[in-house]
Amino acid sequence: MKTKIFVSFTCYLFFILNLSAQPRQELVEVMVSPNHADWTYALGEQAEFSISVFRNNVPLDGIEIQYAIQPDPGYRTLKIWDEGTRTLKNNSTKIKAKKFTEPGFLRCTATVKVDGKEYSSYTTVGFAPDKIQPTTTLPEDFEAFWNKGKEELDKVPMNAVLTLMPERCTDKVDVYHVQLDNIKGKIYGILTKPKKAGKYPAILHVPGAGIRPYYGEIDEAAEGFISFTIGIHGIPVNLDQSVYDALGKGALGGYQTFNLDDRDSAYYRRVYLGCVRAVDFIESVDGFNGEDIAVTGGSQGGALSIVTAGLDDRIDYLAAFYPALSDMTGFLHGRAGGWPQIFMDDFTNKPEKIEVSKYYDVVNFARFVKVPGWYSWGYNDNVCPPASTYSAYNVLTAPKELHLFQKTQHWTYPEQQELRKEWLFTKLKK
Positions annotated as catalytic residues are 299, 381, 410
Using CA atoms, how far apart are residues 93 and 403, in angstroms rounded to an integer?
Answer: 31
Q: Compute CA distances 190 → 76, 169, 197, 204, 300, whole Å.
A: 35, 12, 20, 10, 18
Containing H/E element for 138? none
- Tell me which amino acid residue 142 is: F
**Whether the Cβ atoms of residue 408 and residue 377 lie closer than 8 Å to each other:** yes
Neighbours of 284 (CB within 10 A): 11
Scored b (16 or more CB within 10 A) or e, 15-32 reads ebbeeeeeeeeeebbbeb
- What's the distance, Cα to Cα, between the start and end of the chain in Å? 55
**Interacting residues of 416 by C-beta distance below 8 A, sequence separation 6+:** 321, 376, 403, 405, 408
330 DSSP assignment: G
Neighbours of 200 (CB within 10 A): 21
Task: Specify which residues 382 forms β-bridges with.
Answer: none
223 DSSP assignment: T
